[in-house]
């Protein structure tokens, strides 16, 4: 057939207030949301703020034409959130007072770190802590996150970039789900929504209890490499983020969405492992690969690369030289296979967060030895090809083209890979 229009989407997207079973209009308990704005995100802060006087660096950055974006982005999200409650495309302050303030209790940090935009959007926020206006740092973000967590935030919404995400993570780890509002810089972490409006939709889905939660990567510039002159993203950990169940492919019986979808992908990878039981299986970082390890009953290094043989962990958290040494030592007849997944929000297969898998390692294993696994939802969210940036143009070219990606137990897709 066919042909069925997605009526379901309508009520979800229009944000019409759901009918409550049993009729009547009970007063729902207010939900606690924390808001952090990093006012200096996106103005090349990291480069400039290192070391020296904050105010001078900020002034220099502005003089160089930098534009603070996080506040405006956060405002966009809050307006859309207020609008969602009022059933309009964009809420006014009045809408927020009428509808959303009734549903949400918002807490934030002072002034440019959140209180300003919150009030503009019509919220009457609880304001915690104190800052030095115009001279905020990562430490302020960390303090804000701790304070909001202690206050009881069910969800932390923050506007900024990778550095902001890393600061939030450093403060609260994976204890509170988050929604990141991208502040206009190139972002590698997976904890950011695609745009401010989408961030509002995710918050609304979360509040309505319709969202699942899944682990997303927190990544930031590797400082050691940076000091040595290379810009490379490093994987720091994972935080949980809501995702809209309705848009996820492959919801399964009794357990729709995220965790079981990862499990599906894991089963698909296990199928490949079963077909090549004598091989050495190198497992890269990422929650998708971790799901494979979980099914095998193996404790995998969350952020690193592990080595498996015949279902047993042979080496954990190996670096490049250990990998190469191992690959050189193994018998010719035994194959080496590598399981990788997409790391971060940009869609990198290699070069972000898994630099141990260097060009030399990749060449030793060969393209035919790769097993790429990812949920279809993740692939679609990329809105484009998978990316590679191994640092070696020839290796990048070798990897480019099309590759088979395992997206479920019986499901694969062919996806484009480019440098």
Partner 1 sequence: MTHIDEQAAEAARYLEYQAIDTGYRAVRWHEKTLYEQSRPGSTNAILPPVEPGIVALVGDVAAALPAAARRARPPEMPELSEPEILRHYIRCSQMTYGYDSGNSMGLGTCTMKYSPRINEQLAASPKVKALHPLQPEETIQGILEIMYGMRNWLCELGGMDEVTFQPRGGGHGAFTDACMIRAYHHARGDDHRDEIITCAVSHPCNPATASAAGFKVISLYPDEITGELGIDALKAAISDRTAGIMMTAPYDTGVFDSQIAEYARLVHEAGGVVSLDQANFNGVMTRMRAGDLGADMVHFNLHKTFSTPHGSYGPGAGAVAVKKAFRDFLPVPVVEFDGTKYRLNSDLPHTIGKVGTFMGMVPNVVKAYAWVLSMGADGLREASEWAVINNNYLIKKLLEVRGVEISWPNRRKLQEARFSLAKLHDETGVSTTDFNYRLADFGVQTYFESHVPRIVDEPVTPEPTESISKEDVDQFVAAFHHISAEAYSNAEIVKTAPHRSIVHREIHDYENLTQVPFTWRVWKRTHPDG
Partner 2 sequence: MSARLVHRYIPNTAPGVRERMLAEIGVASVDEIYEEIPAALRFAGRLDLQAEPRSEADVARELTSILAKNRSTDELLSFLGAGCWPHYAPALVAEVMGRSEFLTAYGGIEVNDHGRFLAVFEYQSMMGDLLEMDVVAAAVYDGTTASGDAIHMASRITGRKELVLPRLMDPDRLSALLNYNGPWFDTVFVDFDPATGQMDLADLAAKVSDRTAAVFLENPTYLGTIETQVQEISRLAHAAGALLIANVNPASLGVLAPPGQYDADIACGDGQPLGLPMSCGGARLGVLACKNEVRFVHTLPMTMVGILPTTVPGERAYTWHALFDRIFYGEREAARSFSGTSSFLNAIGAGVYMALLGPSGMAELGRSNMQKAAYAAARIGALKGVKAPVFAGPHFNEFVVDFAGTGKSAAQVNAALLERGILSGKDVSGEFPALGAASLFCITENHTQSEIDRLVDAIAQVTR
Which residues here bind partner 2, judged by CB under 8 A? 1-8, 11, 16, 19, 23, 246, 249-254, 256, 264, 408-411
Residue 408 Cβ, how far from partner 2 at the closest point, in Å? 6
Interaction residues for partner 1, span 238-267 (CB under 8 A): 249
- Using rule CB under 8 A, residue 1 touches partner 1: yes
Residue 19 Cβ, how far from partner 2 at the closest point, in Å? 5
Q: Choose from partner 1, partner 2, none: what does 23 bind? Cβ within 5-8 Å by kind.
A: partner 2
Residue 374 Cβ, how far from partner 2 at the closest point, in Å? 15
Residue 269 Cβ, how far from partner 2 at the closest point, in Å? 16
Q: Choose from partner 1, partner 2, none: what does 89 bind? Cβ within 5-8 Å by kind.
A: partner 1
Asked whether 61 and 54 are in contact (CB, 8 A), the reply is no
Provide the H-helix boundaries in 157-308: 162-172, 196-207, 223-227, 258-275, 287-296
Considering beta carbons, is residue 10 or 47 the nearer one to partner 1?
10
**Enclosing H/E stretch for 406:** strand 401-406
Residue 166 Cβ, how far from partner 1 at the closest point, in Å? 31
CA distance 54 to 13: 42
Q: Choose from partner 2, partner 1, none: what does 209 bind? Cβ within 5-8 Å by kind.
A: partner 1
Asked whether 37 and 112 are in contact (CB, 8 A), the reply is yes
**Exactly one of 31, 60, 90, 391 binds partner 1 (CB under 8 A); which one?**
90
Q: Choose from partner 2, partner 1, none: what does 31 bind? Cβ within 5-8 Å by kind.
A: none
Q: Choose from partner 2, partner 1, none: what does 415 bind? Cβ within 5-8 Å by kind.
A: partner 1
Interaction residues for partner 1, span 269-308 (CB under 8 A): 271
Query: 348-350 and 233-244 as β-strands: parallel, antiparallel, unpaired?
Result: unpaired
Q: Residues 6 or more apart from 25 whose CB is under 8 A from it? A: none
Instruction: For residue 256, give the 3-state DSSP assignment.
Output: coil
Place of tokens 């207010």: 30
Distances (CA, A) of 40 to 34, 44, 49, 313, 319: 19, 8, 10, 44, 35
Query: 280-283 and 306-309 as β-strands: parallel, antiparallel, unpaired?
Result: antiparallel
- Residues forming contacts to partner 1 in the complex (CB under 8 A) are 1-14, 16, 18-21, 87-90, 209, 249, 271, 376, 380, 401-404, 410-416
């Amino acid at each position: 057939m066919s042909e069925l229009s997605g009526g379901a989407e309508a009520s979800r997207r229009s944000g019409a207030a759901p009918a409550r079973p049993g009729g009547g209009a009970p007063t729902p308990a207010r939900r606690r949301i924390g808001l952090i704005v990093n006012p200096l995100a996106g103005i090349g802060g990291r480069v400039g703020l290192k070391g020296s006087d904050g105010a001078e660096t900020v002034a220099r950055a502005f003089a160089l034409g930098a534009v603070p974006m996080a506040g405006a982005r956060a405002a966009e999200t809050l307006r859309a959130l207020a609008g969602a409650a009022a059933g309009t495309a964009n809420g006014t302050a009045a809408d927020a007072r009428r509808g959303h303030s009734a549903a949400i209790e918002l807490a934030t940090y002072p002034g440019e770190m959140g209180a300003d935009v919150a009030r503009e959007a019509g919220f009457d926020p609880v304001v915690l802590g104190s800052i030095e206006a115009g001279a905020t740092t990562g430490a302020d973000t960390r303090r804000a996150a701790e304070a909001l967590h202690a206050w009881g935030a069910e969800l932390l919404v923050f506007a900024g970039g990778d550095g902001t995400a890393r600061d939030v993570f450093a403060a609260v780890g994976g204890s509170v789900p988050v929604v990141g509002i991208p502040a206009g810089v190139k972002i590698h972490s997976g904890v950011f929504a695609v745009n401010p409006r989408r961030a509002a939709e995710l918050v609304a889905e979360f509040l309505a209890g319709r969202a699942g939660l899944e682990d997303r990567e927190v990544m930031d510039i590797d400082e050691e490499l940076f000091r040595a002159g290379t810009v490379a993203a490093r994987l720091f950990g994972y935080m949980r983020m809501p995702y809209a169940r309705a848009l996820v492919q492959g919801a399964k019986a009794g357990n729709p969405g995220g965790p079981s979808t990862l499990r599906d992908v894991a089963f698909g990878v296990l199928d490949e492992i079963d077909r090549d039981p004598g091989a050495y299986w190198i497992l890269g970082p990422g929650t998708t690969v971790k799901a494979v390890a979980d099914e095998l009953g193996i404790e995998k290094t969350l952020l690193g690369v592990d080595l498996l043989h015949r279902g047993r962990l042979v080496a954990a958290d190996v670096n490049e030289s250990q990998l190469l040494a191992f690959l050189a030592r193994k018998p010719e007849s035994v194959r080496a296979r590598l399981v990788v997944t997409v790391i971060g929000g940009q869609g990198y297969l290699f070069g972000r967060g898994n630099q141990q898998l260097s060009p030399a390692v990749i060449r030793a294993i060969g393209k035919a030895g790769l097993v790429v696994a990812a949920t279809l939802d993740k692939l679609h969210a990329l809105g484009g090809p998978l990316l590679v940036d191994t640092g070696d143009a020839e290796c990048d070219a070798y990897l480019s083209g099309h590759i088979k990606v395992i997206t479920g137990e019986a499901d694969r897709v062919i996806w484009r890979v480019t440098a």
